[in-house]
Amino acid sequence: MIYRGLGLMSGSSLDGLDLALVEFQAEGAHWHYRIEVADCYPYSNEWQNKLRPATELNAKDYLQLHVDYGHYLGQQVNRFIQEKGLDYRVGLISSHGHTTFHQPATKLTAQLGDGAALAATTRLPVITDLRAMDVALGGQGAPIVPIGERLLFPSYAYFLNIGGIANLSLATDPYLGFDVCPANRVLNILAEQLGHTMDEGGALAQAGSVKQDLLEQLRQLEYYQRPAPKSLPNQFGTDVIVPMLLDSGHDIPNLLATYTEHIAEQIHRSLLSSGRTLVPGQLLITGGGAFNDHLIRQIAHHLQPIGITPVIPDAELVQYKEALIMAFIGVLRWRQENTVIESVTGASAPSIGGALWMGQEA
């Protein structure tokens, strides 16, 4: 059976909206995929300024933004279809939305991007609220990509996505996955202090030096002492980590050097404390952080003693793996198959997650 799903992904770094049209083929229990076309539509300053303070809005304004952003997503899908010549090729849309509130301890998770507005704008079937069912069942609702990793990339033992937040998956029995630490969002905020949108290739961090006092302070944060399953809200990076760094008195290159080392160190420490037997194997690294050469060298340095080798795939997979898996989760939801791995999230049961919005008459 062949499916064509369009995955939409908006990360906490607010760099833009990733769109990937993917063809999936199911052959028994085996899945194959092919990215037909993918792109990233950068957010305008206007939309960045709308999304960044979303959690500070009153209830009415927040719900209006939820609706407005849903229509915006639909407009970007229509633009994507027109620009790429994809008329009648999109079978369904699966939208992650833009995460605002994520508090699984109280069974709360919220992503902006109203599914009804998106479906009404595109006139296509839309699947949204991909995390909600898992959280309702007591799960972390994150990470949700391991279902795609397990079924689409069976040859890898470990997976690392370095986006606004870095998250790690271990293809063990049972499967394990969790958020490691804030990543690109913090690095980008620091780079912005020097007039850069990001630390290109890690060059600014490489010019600085690691400050051991600050590194030790970061290690002591309570989140790092918790066992998996666990997940992070976006605000942990912006409201906890960034003020700690800026209040330390160190200059920006040194802060970048220290925090880059912190990310690499936490990946290593997380693997060692995972409770799983670590076998030599390959770690597939995707997300914008895979383009940070200095960070990748630091990760490789930490992992070499335990026999884990970082692998950077082609640029398309690096950038669009999460959008690809959002599309795949939509296909699984359409087929009424489980979309999360409960051993990863800690939910009381597996679930078929996602709300389905039909954009046209049957």
- Show me where the domains of the chain are located: 2-146+320-357, 154-317
Task: Indicate whether this model's pTM tops 0.75.
Answer: yes
* Cα end-to-end distance, the chain, whole Å: 21
Share of the chain above pLDDT 70, in %: 99
353/329 Cα distance (integer angstroms): 8
141/264 Cα distance (integer angstroms): 24
- The pLDDT score that the predictor gives to residue 233 is 87
pLDDT in tens, 297-308: 999 999 999 999
What per-residue string of b and e applies to 253-288 under the rule 16 or more CB within 10 Å gives b? bbbbbbbbbbbbbbbbebbeebebebeebebbbbbb
Q: Answer whether 129's CB lies under 8 Å from 253's CB.
A: no
Burial (0-12, 13-18, 19+ Cβ within 10 Å), 336? exposed
Average pLDDT of the chain, as a whole number: 95
pLDDT in tens, 206-236: 999 999 999 999 999 999 999 999 999 888 9
Per-residue pLDDT band for 319 (boundaries 50, 70, 90) equals very high
Q: Answer whether 346's CB lies under 8 Å from 138's CB.
A: yes
CATH 3.30.420.40 fits 2-146+320-357, yes or no: yes
| CATH class of the region 154-317 | alpha beta
Residue 12 has pLDDT above 90, yes or no: no
Same CATH topology for 2-146+320-357 and 154-317: the answer is yes
Per-residue pLDDT band for 361 (boundaries 50, 70, 90) equals low
Residue 171 has pLDDT above 60, yes or no: yes
